[in-house]
Amino acid sequence: MSNQTETQDVRVSVAVINFNGADTLRPTLQSVFALRKVRLAEVFLVDNHSGDDSLALVRREFPNVQVISLPENKGPNPARNAGLRRATADMVLIMDNDIVLADDYVMRLAEVFRAHPEAGAVSGQIRLHDQPDKVQYNGITLHYAGEIAARPLDARGTVRVPCISAGAALFDRRRVLAVGGFDDDFIFGWEDGDLTFRLSLAGYPCYLVSEAIAYHQRRARGMKWVRYQTRNRWWFMRKNYDPRTFWLVLPAIFSMQFCAGCFCLGHGQAGAFLKGTWDAACGSAALRAKRRAVQRLRKVADVNLLQGDRLDLPGGLTASRAGRLLNAAVNAVFRLYWRLVRPCLRRS
Which stretch of DSSP H or E encloses residue 327? helix 321-341
Mean pLDDT split into 10-residue runs, the chain, 348 residues: 54 97 96 97 97 95 97 94 97 98 98 97 97 95 92 95 96 97 91 96 98 90 78 95 96 90 84 91 85 95 94 67 81 95 92
Write down the pLDDT at residue 338.
97
Q: Which residues pair with 206 in a beta bridge?
A: 121, 161
Write down the pLDDT at residue 220.
64
Question: What angle, rounded to 10 degrees, do the helices at 270-281 and 226-240 form?
Answer: 30
- Angle, vertex CA 221, rays to CA 216 and CA 224, nearest 5: 150
CA torsion sign for 199, 96, 16, 4 is negative
* Amino acid letter, 183: D
- In sequence order, the 6+-apart residues with CB closer than 8 A to the CB of 23 are 219
The domain ranges of the chain are: 10-216, 226-344
| DSSP secondary structure string for all residues of 80-115 | HHHHHHH--SSEEEEEETTEEE-TTHHHHHHHHHHH
Task: State phi, psi for 281 to the nearest 5 degrees.
Answer: -80, -15
- Quote the DSSP letter at residue 344: G
Write down the pLDDT at residue 222.
54
What CATH number is given for 10-216 in this structure?
3.90.550.10
> How many H helices and E strands in the chain?
11, 12
Q: Which residues pair with 28 in a beta bridge?
A: none
Write down the pLDDT at residue 2.
42
Write down the pLDDT at residue 110.
97
- Beta pairing class for 38-47 and 66-69: parallel
Write down the pLDDT at residue 197.
98
CA distance 257 to 323: 17
